[in-house]
């Protein structure tokens, strides 16, 4: 039964900790540099430890780091490797901290890197959408309400709408970055330490914007950080899921508005004419799963009081792998958008003629006819089969078919991206790893 209990309590923690290995090493580098500054390590001990940790960091970065059988977690594995190489010196790295603040800082360093990758991939997709929007700004397509043909839209509007949605999603990623980029190291088990720790020093060494000041709150941030980051991921996933749904629908023969790249579709085992939009269907499903992530995290941590509880371990299992799924979806979406072909002859089909009815109502109203009378006249013309659409439309207001405001949307996106402190973080990590 002892083995069963161990299997139950450890769960997938060793597997999940592999995501955190290089970040655990980074946190340790900063921590021991600070310990030397307050007299808990000698200069020689620090240099030996840093050299050994840099070797472990390279192993982790290359994917060769392993947590051995019988070793509880990534923190114990790193300490074991140091002790094997350096003896008792390796045991000194744990002074002034707990596995609680170790995992907190590991998670924050991991999330920082993942958010940076999400920002870069979102930016790539954003620019693909803007480029397509500009390319096809004059190509009209039906706009729908209630899945009924409604009014004229354009591919410029359709692509541009998703670009602007990503600009809003970027605001959520920025909020997640700001909450993440605060240093919990030094909070120990949640109540600080009697050692005279210099928390500002580790904050600077790791490139954090500030620290989580109150040590109890630093521990309360476990789960809360993941939940807030998950909300930003869910927002981004929501945009991708909707884009994927539209593309799957518009790719179908009933619509025929666009054509997806052949390599992103698959055939049927019995129907030779089929090209199923599998990549976007899987994107939709994966993104819908990611939209449930905040609730998964919330239900694990929501009814816990302050302090650490083992429940929080389970958050790793749903949270850490979700970044790879979302990044894959962003890559796939950018690939497809870049290669997507647009049908520029949609309006040749008379089934879309009635979408110009509002244009005619507005033309009559502009020429002096009361709007309600114009509405009634056009309705009767349609009913009697006498409606002839004028497909030459002229929309001028901001955000309309004739005035997409794509430059303003690009400025909005760039302004948000410029607020991420990526360079500061990169420089801090470079100094720790290479000195």
So which residues are the catalytic ones?
146, 268
Beta strands in 220-358 (DSSP E): 258-259, 341-342
Distance CA 205, CA 432 (A): 7
Beta strands in 258-399 (DSSP E): 258-259, 341-342
Is the Cα torsion angle 259, 260, 261, 262 positive or negative in sign? negative
Contact status, residue 92 vs residue 41, Cβ threshold 8 Å:
yes
Contact status, residue 133 vs residue 406, Cβ threshold 8 Å:
yes
Cβ neighbors of 248 (< 8 A, separation 6 or more) are 277, 280, 281, 284
Distance CA 97, CA 88 (A): 17
Distance CA 190, CA 214 (A): 9
Displacement of CA 405 from its chain's centroid (Å): 25
Q: Structure tokens of 322? A: 């979700």
The single-letter DSSP state of residue 263 is G
To which residue do tokens 């923190």 refer? Answer: 75
Cβ neighbors of 312 (< 8 A, separation 6 or more) are 222, 223, 300, 301, 304
Residue 388: HSE in the Cβ half-sphere, 13 Å Cα cutoff: 0
Q: Structure tokens of 296? A: 């998964």
Q: Give me the count of residues in the chain.
A: 435
Q: Structure tokens of 173? A: 């990623």
3-state secondary structure 87-142: HHHHHHHHCCCCHHHHHHHHHHHHHHHHHHHHHHHHHHHHHHHHHHHHHCCCCEEE
Helix axes 371-384, 357-366, angle to 10 degrees: 140
Contact status, residue 341 vs residue 258, Cβ threshold 8 Å:
yes
Q: How far is CA 129 from CA 3, 157, 173, 187, 350, in A?
A: 53, 10, 19, 44, 29
């Amino acid at each position: 039964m002892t083995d069963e209990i161990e299997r139950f309590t450890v769960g997938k923690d060793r597997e999940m900790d592999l995501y955190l290995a290089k970040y655990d090493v980074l946190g340790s580098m900063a921590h021991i540099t600070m310990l030397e500054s307050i007299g808990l390590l000698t200069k020689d001990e620090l240099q030996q430890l840093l050299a050994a940790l840099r070797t472990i960091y390279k192993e982790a970065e290359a994917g060769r780091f392993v947590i051995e059988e019988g070793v509880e977690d990534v923190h114990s594995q790193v300490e074991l490797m140091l002790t094997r190489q350096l003896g008792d010196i390796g045991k000194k790295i744990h002074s002034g901290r707990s596995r609680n603040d170790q995992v907190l800082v590991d998670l924050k360093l991991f999330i920082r890197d993942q958010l940076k990758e999400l920002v870069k991939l979102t930016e790539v997709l954003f620019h693909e959408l803007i480029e397509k929007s500009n390319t096809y700004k004059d190509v009209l397509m039906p706009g729908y309400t209630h899945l009924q043909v409604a009014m004229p839209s354009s591919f410029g509007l359709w692509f541009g709408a998703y670009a602007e949605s990503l600009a809003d999603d970027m605001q959520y990623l920025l909020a997640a970055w700001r909450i993440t980029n605060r240093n919990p190291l030094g909070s120990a088990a949640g109540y600080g330490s009697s050692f005279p720790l210099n928390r500002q020093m580790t904050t600077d060494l790791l490139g954090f914007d500030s620290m989580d000041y109150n040590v109890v709150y630093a521990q309360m941030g476990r789960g809360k950080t993941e939940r807030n980051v998950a909300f930003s991921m869910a927002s981004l996933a929501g945009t991708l899921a909707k884009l994927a749904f539209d593309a799957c629908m518009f790719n179908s023969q009933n619509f025929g508005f666009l054509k997806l790249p052949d390599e992103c579709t698959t055939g049927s085992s019995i129907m030779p004419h089929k090209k199923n939009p599998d990549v976007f269907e899987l994107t939709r499903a994966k993104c819908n799963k990611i939209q449930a992530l905040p609730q998964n995290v919330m239900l694990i941590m929501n009814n816990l009081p302050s302090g650490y509880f083992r429940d929080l371990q389970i958050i790793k299992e749903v949270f850490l792998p979700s970044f790879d799924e979302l990044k894959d979806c962003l890559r796939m979406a950018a690939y497809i958008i870049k290669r997507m072909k647009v049908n520029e002859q949609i309006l040749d089909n008379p089934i879309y003629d009635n979408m110009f009815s509002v244009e005619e109502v507005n033309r009559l109203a502009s020429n002096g006819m009361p709007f309600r009378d114009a509405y009634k006249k056009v309705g009767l013309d349609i009913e009697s089969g006498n409606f002839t659409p004028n497909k030459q439309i002229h929309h001028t207001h901001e955000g309309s078919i004739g005035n997409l405001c794509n430059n303003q949307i690009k400025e909005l996106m760039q302004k948000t991206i410029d607020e991420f402190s990526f360079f500061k973080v990169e420089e801090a990590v470079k100094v720790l790893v290479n000195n």
